[in-house]
Structure formats: C-alpha cells, structure tokens
C-alpha cells in the first residue's frame, strides 16, 4: 500500500480548472519532487494531499485513509502529515519552544515537559538549540524554515509535505534548509516536495513529477526525467531553469 | 467673567452652602450629585463595553468562518446595528422593544441602555475583529490546520492571539467612544453626567461651571481607558514584530 495515493484528482475554482485528473503515488520511504512552471497547480496539488484545499473529483488516500471522505477525522489525519510552507508560517506570538510544543500538547495530548524535551531535541537536530527562547520575528528566514521543519517533525509524522520550502529565502539561506531536507530524505522519511531546486531532486529524489496547466505531464524515475524528459514542455522547463 | 465654583457646594434642595461641600443625612450637594452621575456614566460605559466586546468578538469571528450561514449571521448582525442611529436605537429599546416583547417591560431602563449601547458598539467591534483576523495571511490558518488543530483550536491558539493584538488600537478608540456615547442615556432618564449637566445648570444657572466639570470628567474617564489599553498593548507586544520590543 502506498503512503500517499492520488487518483484522478480534479479541482475547479468556479469555472477555472486548476487540477485535471492528477494521479500519482508516493511509496513509504520514497521522495518525490513536484516541479513545473508557476501556475501549473503544484502548490494546489500538494495542499489537496492533506485536505487543506478541497477537491471536487477523485480520491486522495494517505496510509489507507481517504482524505475526501466526509467521515474522515481530518485534524487527526493532518496531525500525522507534516507540512512545511513557503512562508514558514511559524506562530509569531509564541516563542520557538512554544511553536514546537503547542500542537504536541493540544493535539497529541503529550505532557508539557515531554513536549518541550522533544522540541528541544529537534531544535538541536536542525542546529538551532540556542534560539529556543527567541520569537520567530527575531530569526532569519532560513532559521525560521528550519524551525518549521522541526515543528512538523515534532508530531512524529508518517510523511512530510514541502510546499516550495526555499522559494521565499535569500540565496545564501537556501542550502541550510536543503541540508536538513536531504538529511531527512536519507533517513528514509516519505516526502513530497514542491520545489525548483533541481540539485535537491538530483541528489535525493526517487521520482520527479512535472506539472503543466493543472495536469501531471511527466511522472518518471529521476534518472529518466533528467536524462531525457519525454514531453517538450518539460524539456523547455528544464533548459530554462538549469542553464544559468 | 465671574467664576463661581462654589456652586458645587450648594445643597440641591434649598440652595444653601454646605460646609466641606458634601451633604449628609439625606441631603445632597451638587458635588454629590455630580459624582453619582459620574458613577452612572462609568457603569453604563463599562457594562456596555463588556456586552460589546463579547458579542462583537463572536460576530467578528463568525464572519471569518468557512461557513456561509455563520458569515451571513455575523454580517446581518453588524449591518443591523450599525445602520440605525444610536439615539434611535436607545429609543427603540426603551419604547418599542418592551411593547413587542412583554417580558422586557419590567427591565430597568439602565439595563436597556447598556444593551442598546452595547449592541450598537458590538457591530463596530465585529467589523474590527473581522478585519484583524483577515489581516493575517491565509497561511496561518492553513498552518494551524496542518498541525492537526481543529478549526476552533486554530482560532484559539493561532488566529485570535495575533488578531486581537492587531486590533488593540482601534478597540481603544471604540472603548473611548463608548464613554462618550453613553451620554445618550440621558434620553431615557438615566441620571448620568449629561442629564446632570442639563438639570443642574437649569437649577443653578451656572451652566459654564457645570458643563466644564462634566467635560473634565468625560475626558478623564475616556483618557483613563486609553491609558489602560495602551498599557495592555505594551504588555502583549511580540518580540521581533514591527513595533515589538526586544
């Protein structure tokens, strides 16, 4: 059974179709990179995975549980699916430690001390233990995004979703975030990553999904995708982002 | 121009000067009356503010909920209470509502004024709370939900703590407005500052002193609220945010 399975997912904003019969899957321990030109629907696609964006047709199944089923306890399911956003979305009124522990306490029912310990351990892991008592507004973008990754990990997720995690960062901060992600991937975390960082894709992705105009145009093993993408659109895209 | 501040030391019945300016044994001076009127103004204002904050916050929150019926309810509430003049609303509560709803006939006019002023102001606070919540990026709501919070938890832990911080300045003006607007209570014979001023200047012919005293007390009350909320604003500042400390 795949960890994440999308079957013919379609979504409309009014008349405008943003996703057209998108199907793909992510096996346990697999890392897939979703790329494509802006407006191609990749952010919308990844937000459909944990039901942050509703979809009108098709099915998304995470670890055997259907996301679109009205009977599904979505908060419970989302608590097990880590998500990292383009703009970090740390809670600005809470210290870093509180950001890491609040959901553990309020959602998972862990004790405050246990949650704090777990949070600090993860901060250590992303190299930010010394920032524990600061507030998000006092951290750089790269640091905030590493905290956001630690926050998602604090819930012991069964898989992780990344929605353009480095595109709001200054260039010199991109690598500190990618390093954390590469490490996660190498440890066997199941990951679905929307990104333009082809270096990251080359290094750790198993498969690359290429989207254009709301459709999944290519869904290939990494070697095949970078070797010779079959669609002309993907070739153009790659030549645009790789040659400068 | 001859000032006569001694007017406040006069007995309200016979107009004689009372030593030390405070009456006793059932007799009151104009100073006693003024202070009692100030008490009524403060009572009406604070109780109405409480009603307005509670109902205004609830309605403001409903207007941002992902549910059409709740949004409609919040919008209807807000439009109803902000499109009718305050004075007319007070008269409606005093004359019309008890006629339509018989159990309300025995309710003291003080409570009707608190309700009227509170509901009028709740519409304005609802608008501010809505704006505060909507000023947060949609990403915050998604981040809360993605962590596994339910929608109410997302409001409680993620959206409202920031939204309320953002709207403290407009809420401060609104809280000061409620003190000033409480003057409408004179229209239904609540013995507050404005009613005191109208009656006392009639009886004493010292309108200038009377109005200046009342003006001062309104100013002090509104300014005190301003300082209290300013203190709150400082206390809840988030380090690292614009205007935040640390």
Please report the pLDDT score of residue B104 as a whole number.
87
Measured between beta carbons, which residues in chain B are less than 8 angstroms from residue A108?
A: 148
Give me the mean pLDDT over the A86-103 stretch: 97
Q: For tokens 């333009």, name the residue.
A: A196
Residue B238 contacts A, CB cutoff 8 Å: yes
Contact B129, B167 (CB under 8 A): yes
Give me the mean pLDDT over the A9-33 stretch: 95
Does the pLDDT value for residue A11 go beyond 80? yes
Please report the pLDDT score of residue B3 as a whole number.
86
Chain B's closest residue to A89, CA to CA, is B140
A47 and B145 in contact by Cβ < 8 A?
no
Separation between Cα atoms, residue A139 and residue A154, nearest integer Å: 19
Residue B9 contacts A, CB cutoff 8 Å: no
Mean pLDDT of chain A: 94
Residue B153 contacts A, CB cutoff 8 Å: yes
Please report the pLDDT score of residue B138 as a whole number.
84
What global pTM score does this model have?
0.91
Report phi then psi at A216, rounded to 5. -85, 110
Residues of chain B with pLDDT under 50: 245-246
Chain B's closest residue to A103, CA to CA, is B147
pLDDT tens track for A50-61 = 999 999 999 999
Query: What sign for the dihedral angle of Cα A45, A50, A54, A56?
Result: positive
Please report the pLDDT score of residue B245 as a whole number.
44
Give me the mean pLDDT over the A62-77 stretch: 95
Measured between beta carbons, which residues in chain A are less than 8 angstroms from residue B142?
A: 47, 52, 85, 89
Alpha helices (runs of H) in chain A, residue ranges in sequence order = 42-49, 74-79, 96-106, 112-125, 141-153, 171-186, 198-204, 222-227, 232-242
Separation between Cα atoms, residue A207 and residue A216, nearest integer Å: 13
Q: Which two tokens stand for residue B160?
A: 């409202």
If one compares B239 and A147, the residue with the highest pLDDT of the two is A147
Give me the mean pLDDT over the A28-32 stretch: 96
Measured between beta carbons, which residues in chain B are less than 8 angstroms from residue A151?
A: 147
pLDDT tens track for A212-238 = 999 999 999 999 998 887 788 888 888
Separation between Cα atoms, residue B201 and residue B208, nearest integer Å: 8
Residue in B133, B137, B146, B167 to test binding to A, most A beta-carbons within 10 Å = B146
Q: Which residues of A lie closer than 8 Å to B, measured between beta carbons?
A: 47, 50, 52, 75-76, 78-81, 83, 85-87, 89-93, 102-103, 106-108, 134-139, 151, 155
Q: Which two tokens stand for residue A67?
A: 């996301």
A155 and B162 in contact by Cβ < 8 A?
no
Please report the pLDDT score of residue B19 as a whole number.
86
Closest C-alpha among B188, B186, B217 to residue B199: B186
A137 and B239 in contact by Cβ < 8 A?
yes
Please report the pLDDT score of residue B246 as a whole number.
41
Separation between Cα atoms, residue B81 and residue A15, nearest integer Å: 37
Chain B's closest residue to A77, CA to CA, is B148
Separation between Cα atoms, residue B214 and residue B40, nearest integer Å: 13
Measured between beta carbons, which residues in chain B are less than 8 angstroms from residue A78?
A: 145-148
Helix (H) / strand (E) containing B173: helix B160-181
Q: Which two tokens stand for residue B73?
A: 């309810």
A–B: how many Cβ contacts below 8 A?
81
Please report the pLDDT score of residue B243 as a whole number.
52
Separation between Cα atoms, residue B139 and residue A117, nearest integer Å: 27
Q: Which two tokens stand for residue B159?
A: 């959206």
Please report the pLDDT score of residue B132 as a whole number.
96
pLDDT tens track for B119-171 = 999 999 999 999 999 999 889 999 999 999 999 999 999 999 999 999 999 99
> Helices B207-235 and B160-181, interaxial angle, to 10°?
170
- What is the nearest CA distance from A62 to chain B, expressed in angstroms? 14
Contact A146, A128 (CB under 8 A): yes
A91 and B157 in contact by Cβ < 8 A?
yes
DSSP-based three-state secondary structure for A207: strand
Please report the pLDDT score of residue A65 as a whole number.
96
Please, what are the domains in chain B?
5-236 (1.10.3720.10)
Residue in A81, A97, A103 to test binding to B, most B beta-carbons within 10 Å = A103
Separation between Cα atoms, residue B184 and residue B200, nearest integer Å: 17
Q: At a CB cut-off of 8 Å and minimum separation 6, what does A75 contact?
A: A107, B145, B148, B149, B150, B153
Contact A227, A196 (CB under 8 A): no
Q: Is B205 left (phi over 0), alpha (psi -120 to 50) or beta?
A: left
Chain B's closest residue to A78, CA to CA, is B148
B162-167 LR contacts (CB < 8 Å, sep 24+): B162/A91, B162/A92, B162/A93, B162/B136, B163/B129, B163/B132, B163/B133, B163/B135, B163/B136, B164/B129, B164/B132, B165/A93, B165/B233, B165/B236, B165/B237, B165/B238, B166/B132, B166/B135, B166/B136, B167/B128, B167/B129, B167/B131, B167/B132
Separation between Cα atoms, residue B10 and residue B203, nearest integer Å: 11
Nearest to A107 among B137, B149, B241 (CB): B149
A78 and B239 in contact by Cβ < 8 A?
no
C-alpha of B39 from chain center: 14
Nearest to B139 among A50, A87, A136 (CB): A87
Q: Which two tokens stand for residue A33?
A: 């990179």
Q: At a CB cut-off of 8 Å and minimum separation 6, what does B3 contact?
A: B209
Chain B (172-231) residues lying within 8 Å, Cβ to Cβ, of chain A: none
Chain A's closest residue to B163, CA to CA, is A93
Measured between beta carbons, which residues in chain A are less than 8 angstroms from residue B145?
A: 52, 75, 78
Please report the pLDDT score of residue A238 as a whole number.
87
C-alpha of B159 from chain center: 25
Separation between Cα atoms, residue B197 and residue A83, nearest integer Å: 63
- What is the nearest CA distance from B240 to chain A, expressed in angstroms? 4
Closest C-alpha among B169, B172, B184, B178 to residue B243: B169
């Amino acid at each position: 059974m795949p960890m994440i399975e999308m079957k013919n997912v379609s979504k409309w904003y009014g008349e405008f179709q943003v996703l057209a019969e998108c199907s793909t899957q992510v096996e346990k321990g697999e890392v897939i990179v979703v790329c494509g030109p802006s407006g191609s629907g990749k952010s919308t696609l990844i937000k459909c995975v944990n039901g942050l964006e509703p979809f009108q047709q098709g099915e998304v199944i995470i670890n055997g549980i259907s996301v679109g089923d009205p009977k599904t306890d979505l908060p419970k399911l989302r608590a097990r699916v880590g998500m990292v956003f383009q703009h970090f979305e740390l809670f600005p009124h809470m210290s870093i430690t509180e950001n890491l522990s609040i959901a553990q306490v309020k959602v998972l029912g862990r004790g405050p001390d246990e949650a704090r310990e777990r949070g600090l351990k993860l901060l250590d892991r992303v190299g930010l233990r010394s920032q524990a008592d600061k507030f998000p507004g006092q951290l750089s973008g790269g640091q905030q995004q590493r905290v956001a990754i630690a926050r998602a990990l604090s819930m012991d997720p069964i898989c992780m979703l990344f929605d353009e995690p480095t595109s709001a960062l200054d260039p010199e901060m991109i690598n500190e975030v990618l390093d954390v992600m590469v490490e996660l991937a190498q440890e066997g975390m199941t990951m679905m990553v929307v990104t333009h960082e082809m270096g990251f894709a080359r290094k750790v992705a198993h498969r690359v999904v290429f989207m254009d105009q709301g459709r999944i145009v290519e869904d290939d093993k990494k070697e095949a995708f970078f070797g010779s993408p079959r669609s002309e659109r993907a070739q153009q895209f790659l030549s645009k982002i790789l040659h400068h | 121009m001859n000032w006569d501040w001694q007017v406040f030391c006069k007995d309200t019945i016979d107009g004689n000067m009372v030593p030390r300016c405070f009456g006793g044994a059932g007799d009151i001076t104009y100073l006693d009356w003024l202070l009692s009127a100030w008490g009524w103004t403060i009572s009406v204002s604070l109780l109405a503010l409480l009603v307005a904050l509670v109902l205004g916050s609830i309605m403001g929150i409903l207007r941002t909920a992902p549910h059409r019926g709740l949004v409609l309810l919040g919008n209807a509430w807000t439009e109803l209470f902000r499109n009718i003049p305050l004075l007319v609303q007070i008269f409606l509560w005093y004359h019309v509502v008890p006629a339509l709803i018989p159990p309300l006939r025995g309710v003291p006019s003080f409570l009707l004024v608190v309700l009227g002023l509170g509901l009028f102001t709740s519409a304005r606070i609802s608008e501010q709370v809505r704006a505060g919540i909507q000023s947060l990026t949609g990403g915050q709501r998604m981040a809360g939900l993605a962590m596994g919070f339910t929608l109410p938890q997302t409001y409680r832990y993620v959206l409202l703590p920031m939204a309320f911080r953002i709207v403290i300045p407009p809420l401060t003006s609104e809280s000061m407005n409620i003190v000033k607007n409480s003057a409408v209570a004179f229209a239904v014979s609540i013995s507050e500052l404005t009613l005191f001023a109208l009656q006392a200047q009639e009886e004493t012919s010292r309108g200038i002193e009377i109005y200046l005293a009342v003006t001062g007390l309104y100013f002090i009350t509104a300014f005190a609220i301003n300082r209290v909320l300013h203190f709150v604003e400082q206390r809840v500042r988030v380090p690292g945010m614009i205007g935040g400390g640390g």
